[in-house]
Amino acid sequence: MADKRTYADRREELIRAVAKRRRKIKTLAIEYKGGACQVCGYHKYQGALDLHHANGKKEFGIGDKGYTRSWEKVKAELDKCVLVRANCHREIEGGVTQLSAERRIEKRGEFGETL
Ligand SMILES: [Zn+2]
């Protein structure tokens, strides 16, 4: 029984430590990505900012496993992401908002356009 309690305490402690680390890494990540939404420039509240994986389906595990990784790994991942406000993120996902230059370059390659 004593073991169980110790385990629970340790678990609580761990959860708190992980949460603290996540917040810190999120702050670093947001700074690293320029601190503002890359679509509209929003920067009021970091909790409203998401990381969108620019080149595929895979989303950065925000507030998830993603933030328990080492900063070097996070940074490598961040290089493939764009920082966007949650609202803008939804719009990108929904195809209503186009992402910056990167996407257009891709399209140009695809269709041979000079736009
Ligand atoms: Zn935005």
Q: Tell me: the pLDDT tens digits for 75-88?
A: 888 998 999 999 99
In the reported structure, the alpha carbon of residue 102 is separated from the centroid of ligand 1 by a whole-number distance in angstroms of 16
Could you write out the DSSP letters of every residue in 81-94? EEEEEHHHHHHHHT
- Nearest 5°: phi and psi at 35? 80, 0
In the reported structure, the alpha carbon of residue 106 is separated from the centroid of ligand 1 by a whole-number distance in angstroms of 21
The verdict on pTM exceeding 0.75 is no
In the reported structure, the alpha carbon of residue 50 is separated from the centroid of ligand 1 by a whole-number distance in angstroms of 10
So what's the pLDDT on residue 115? Answer: 43
Tokens of 104: 């257009």
Tokens of 15: 């959860």
Convert 19-31 to b/e letters by CB count within 10 Å (16 or more is b): eeebeebbeebbe
In the reported structure, the alpha carbon of residue 40 is separated from the centroid of ligand 1 by a whole-number distance in angstroms of 4
Domain ranges, residue 20? 2-111
Number of domains in the chain: 1
Question: pLDDT, tens digit, for every residue of 46-82?
Answer: 999 998 887 665 555 555 555 566 888 888 889 989 9
Tokens of 47: 């909790």
Tokens of 12: 């609580």
